[in-house]
Amino acid sequence: MVLLRTLLHMLMVRPLMWFLLGGKVEGRENLPSSGPAILAANHNSHLDIFFLQSLLPVGALPLTHPVAAADYFCRTKLTTWLSRNLIGIIALSRTRASFHEDPLAGVKETLRAGKIVIIFPEGSRGEPEMLSMIKPGIAHLAKDFPDVPVIPVFIKGLGKSLPRGELALVPHLCRAFVGEALKYGYGEGQNVRKFTEDLKGWFFARADQQNSAGLTNR
């Protein structure tokens, strides 16, 4: 199944992403080639998962698992099977069944297995090309894995290419900026709020830089 997933990715997803979205990356050297690692990206489009996967080195691909909403990707048995096996998603329930149940259990298990997890800390796609609040969930996760690098990735243009609620994909040059890894265990006086603020600061600084650089996505 991993082989099928890799083949599908290399033969279809990667060439299509390159053809339709270009895919310029700044800071490619910061991308992980092995796990465990957490990739934290802003979220604007369904394409985000594929775009991020196509940035990673081929060897890291079978290790990569995007965290995605169970209520969206696992509506039917077929979509559940497809997204689990062909995209490799970890389904995250947005509604908690009971208070004692840990919604991040699947994610933690994956990290313990030494894999790379893609997380969208904003939670949902939101308005196209707008950053929404970074939720503290990622910081809680990082707290449990203080030595696992959290690599922030700012991606731009995908909300214009395939925004929420649209069916048609508009080819458009997208780009990614990969930041240096943040590690929960390395910050002084680290706490969940501080970590969330640090991450948020990085994303907003990137967004501001883009807006003032002229090559904006207005």
Residues of the shown chain interacting with another protein in the complex, contacts defined by CB under 8 A: 20, 22, 24, 128, 157, 160, 163, 166, 168-173, 214-215, 217-218
The dihedral over CA atoms of 129, 73, 22, 178, expressed in degrees to the nearest 10, equals 70
> In the complex with another protein, which residue's Cβ is closer, 174 or 199?
174
> In the complex with another protein, which residue's Cβ is closer, 84 or 164?
164
Pair 161, 172: CB distance under 8 Å? yes
> In the complex with another protein, which residue's Cβ is closer, 27 or 136?
27
**Least distance (Å) between residue 59 CB and another protein:** 27
> In the complex with another protein, which residue's Cβ is closer, 173 or 181?
173
3-state secondary structure the chain: CHHHHHHHHHHHHHHHHHHHHEEEEECHHHCCCCCCEEEEECCCCCHHHHHHHHHCCHHHHHHEEEEEEHHHHCCCHHHHHHHHHHHCCEEECCCCCCCCCCCCHHHHHHHHCCCEEEECCCCCCCCCCCCCCCCCHHHHHHHHCCCCCEEEEEEECHHHHCCCCCCCCCCCCEEEEECCCECHHHCCCCCHHHHHHHHHHHHHHHHHHHHHHCCCCC
- Residue 88's closest CA among 52, 121, 122, 112? 52
**Least distance (Å) between residue 214 CB and another protein:** 5
**Least distance (Å) between residue 50 CB and another protein:** 17
**Least distance (Å) between residue 167 CB and another protein:** 8
> In the complex with another protein, which residue's Cβ is closer, 80 or 132?
132
> In the complex with another protein, which residue's Cβ is closer, 77 or 218?
218
